[in-house]
Structure 1
């Protein structure tokens, strides 16, 4: 993941308690598993995949159960998405996407399109701080403004100085 990418995890709205912190019980250095949130989802998976195909180009890697999309990083459109399916391709195990913050059109076009897909399918979003919110631009912008990706975009030197200061405080 590039530092200028803002990552959001997608889960069905009816599968999550609004007070639940997805990161609270995660004991690894990786993103927490979300497959349990998808157990009762019975939405139209081919339609979701098809709609994502219209938003971000399909990547040239992955397979039938690990589906990836990747934008043009050379054009500051390093947006991507990933949907992991069960082996029988009947259930989603994971869905996440990242938006490249270096270009405003990634927010106004790509993020807005994915938010629309999420609204249509009654999904909610979870940011890297564990905040859960509806797929609406106002909530996404609040989360985005507090993200490390935005801090980097706003002032890369200050971002790295802050990292160095935090590192020195832990010594």
Structure 2
């Protein structure tokens, strides 16, 4: 992931409200467990095993949510072009911006396993981000950052998460960003 990209997970609102009796401010993400998981991941298998732990990323939030994946893909095609490497990824990459989006869809069980996008923080036009916020709002989806912080799909709430992100720090104060890496 490029340092200037802000990672955002798209989650359906209803299962989170049901599990927690409302939308909490933050969900747990087990970063150390994910590090171990990816450290043991065998690229040759070409099929990622299920994690042996549960957190906000591994939970199957979309299971049981009726979604027309073909229709969703078509809507996303209007926002961002498909990536050349597969049918589940989209990417804008040029001299000005680097946005991407991916949906891991379980064809066998008909549900989204993972839905995420990365916004290039250098993009001052915000067309991609605003289109994604509109898509999420229309479908009653919420957003989660890489630390499990949740927000509604609007620019004001997302800006609060962005202000505390590594991408924002890199764009606004690269020296401090690199000092924090040490």
How far is the alpha carbon of 1:27 from its aligned partner? 2.1
CA distance in 1, matches of 2:111, 2:180: 41
Query: Is it true that 1:53 corresponds to 2:73 in the alignment?
Result: no
**Alpha-carbon distance between aligned partners in 1 of 2:79 and 2:70, rounded to the nearest angstrom:** 15
Give the structure 2 partner of residue 70 of structure 1: 91
- Aligned CA distance change for structure 1 residues 22 and 38 (closer, same or farther; 3 Å): farther
Asked if the contact 1:43/1:121 (under 8 Å) is kept, the reply is no
- The residue that corresponds to 1:8 in the other structure is 8
Q: Does 1:134 align with 2:127?
A: no
Corresponding residue of 1:168:
none
Quick one: which of 104, 109, 122 aligns to 2:124? Answer: 104
Distance 2:31 2:85 in 1: 31
Q: How far did 1:112 drift? A: 0.6
Q: Match of 1:81?
A: 101
1:112-167 deviations in Å (ceiling 9; x for gaps): 10011111111111111211111111111111111100000002122101222xxx
Q: When the two structures are superposed, what TM-score results if normalisation uses the length of structure 2?
A: 0.79
Q: Contact 2:29 / 2:57 at 8 angstroms: preserved in 1?
A: no
Q: 1:26 to 1:37 in 2, by over 3 A?
A: farther
Contact 1:76 1:100 in 2 (8 A): no
SS state at 2:127 partner = helix
Higher relative contact order, chain-length normalized (CA < 8 Å, sep 6+):
2
Q: Which has the higher helix share?
A: 1
Measured in 2, the distance between the counterparts of 1:26 and 1:41 equals 29
CA-CA distance at 1:44 after TM superposition: 2.5
The number of equivalent residue pairs is 158
With the length of structure 1 as denominator, give the TM-score of the two structures.
Answer: 0.84
Q: CA deviation at 1:11?
A: 0.9
The Cα RMSD (Å) is 2.1
Shift of 1:34: 4.3
4+ aligned runs moved over 6 Å, structure 1: none
- Long gaps (5+) in structure 2: 39-54
